Amino acid sequence: MTRPDILLIGSPMAYVIERLEAAFTVHRMPAEAAGFNAFADMRGIAMAGGPLRIDGDFMERLPKLEIVSNFGVGYDAIDAHAAAERGIVVTNTPDVLTEEVADIAVGLLLCVVRQLPQAERHLRAGKWLAGAYPLTATLRGRRIGILGLGRIGKAVALRLEAFGVTIAYHGRNRQPDVPYRYYPSLMAMAEDVDTLVSVAPGGASTRHLIGAEVLKALGPEGIVVNVGRGSVVDERALIEALGSGTILSAGLDVFEDEPRVPAELIAMDHIVLLPHVGSASHHTREAMGQLQVDNLVSWFAGKGPVTPVAETPWPRG
Catalytic residue among 143, 159, 181, 276: 276
314/312 Cα distance (integer angstroms): 6
Q: Name the strand (E) or helix (H) holding 80.
A: helix 80-85
Among candidate residues 36, 50, 45, 51, the one with its CA nearest the CA of residue 80: 45
The yes-or-no answer on residue 286 being catalytic is no
**Contacts of 31 by beta carbon, 8 Å cutoff, 6+ apart:** none
Peptide bond into 176 cis (omega under 30): no
Residue 2 CB-density burial (10 A; 0-12 exposed, 13-18 middle, 19+ buried):
exposed
Beta-bridge partner residues of 272 = 251
Phi, psi of 101 (to 5 degrees): -70, -35
Cα three-residue angle 160-161-162, rounded to 5 degrees: 90
Among candidate residues 221, 197, 286, 283, the one with its CA nearest the CA of residue 13: 286
Catalytic residue among 19, 43, 170, 229: 229
279/147 Cα distance (integer angstroms): 19
| Ramachandran quadrant class, 304 (left: phi over 0; alpha: psi -120 to 50; beta: rest) | left
Catalytic residue among 81, 174, 258, 270: 258
The yes-or-no answer on residue 229 being catalytic is yes
**Contacts of 130 by beta carbon, 8 Å cutoff, 6+ apart:** none
101/279 Cα distance (integer angstroms): 5
Catalytic residues: 229, 258, 276
